[in-house]
Amino acid sequence: MSRLLLPFFISSSALAFEVLDVGAPRTGTQSMHNALHILGYKTLHSGYESEKRIPWCEYLFANGPLQDAMATLEGYDAAMDEPFQLVYEEIMEAFPKAKFVLTISDPERWFESYVKLVAGMSTTDWLHSGRDFGDFYAERRDHAEIRYCAAATYWGCEFANFTAESKRQCLQAYQHHNERVQQVIPADRLLVFNFTAGWAPLAHFLGKPIPDEPFPHVDLAGDIFEKNLPETSQPVSFLQESIKLNAEL
């Protein structure tokens, strides 16, 4: 994907941005959100603050202004979840000292996680709950980029009614993303991270002391929609909202 970087003003508070998780959604972004918080960062997970995705979706898929998208990073040190994993080149240019973490998962395991999540959502009453996700969706509900920006749709992924060909395309795009990240981001600014490694690689890479507590493993969306655990008041995924929008259109 080739995008022209537009001139924009970055305030002094935005210059504090330090870490971008460039791993695909469903590769542990919720765990990374908690881990970076423990390490002292103010983290933006776009599944928990879904309105922050809108300017990025519009920038990526509807020629929206980069300045508006960058403004969502004000006051944050780190960010993760879609579509943040797609904008590493913009972040590299805007924040020359920023570092990047590529959370990885076996491709088949990643795909199956999404399949289970979507299947779990279809068996709950979530789609029929009548929830209001805010005026920002009502204002943009006819914008295709909002639906295209979630659940790896931009990679040609289909998780509810996938075919062998659509799965192949999806996995190929997922692997291409991981490969390109490692080609484009300089090695000294990128950590390829496996959660089984625990705190040490992440803390050392970021120049932080190793916390005296277990590494967090968090998946609110999976708990609710895969394991059918009770919902919390915390929003868990923009995927939920995208599916609801599609169901209503």
* CATH number where 212 lies: 3.40.50.300
pLDDT tens-place string over residues 44-60: 999 888 889 999 999 99
Spatial distance between the Cα atoms of 223 and 123, rounded to a whole number of angstroms:
14
Tell me the average pLDDT across 81-108. 96
pLDDT tens-place string over residues 181-193: 999 999 999 999 9
CA angle 88, 42, 57 (to 5 degrees): 40
Q: Is residue 1 part of a domain?
A: no
Residue 134 or 11, more confident: 11
Matching residue, tokens 């923009």: 238
Is 90 exceeded by the pLDDT of residue 12?
A: no
Average pLDDT, the chain: 80
Asked if 41 and 203 count as a contact pair (C-beta separation under 8 A), the reply is no
Taking the whole predicted model, whether its pTM rises above 0.85 is answered as: no
Q: Is residue 8 part of a domain?
A: no
Tell me the average pLDDT across 211-218. 92
pLDDT tens-place string over residues 110-158: 999 889 888 776 655 444 443 333 343 444 445 566 678 888 999 999 9
Q: Is residue 6 part of a domain?
A: no
Q: Is residue 129 part of a domain?
A: yes
pLDDT tens-place string over residues 116-129: 888 776 655 444 44
Q: Is residue 4 part of a domain?
A: no
Helix or strand run (H / E) with residue 114: helix 107-122
* Domain ranges, residue 235: 14-248
Is 80 exceeded by the pLDDT of residue 220?
A: no
Q: Is residue 9 part of a domain?
A: no
Number of domains in the chain: 1
Q: Is residue 2 part of a domain?
A: no
**Strand-pair category, 99-103 with 78-80:** unpaired
Q: Is residue 162 part of a domain?
A: yes
Crossing angle of helices 238-248/107-122, nearest 10°?
50
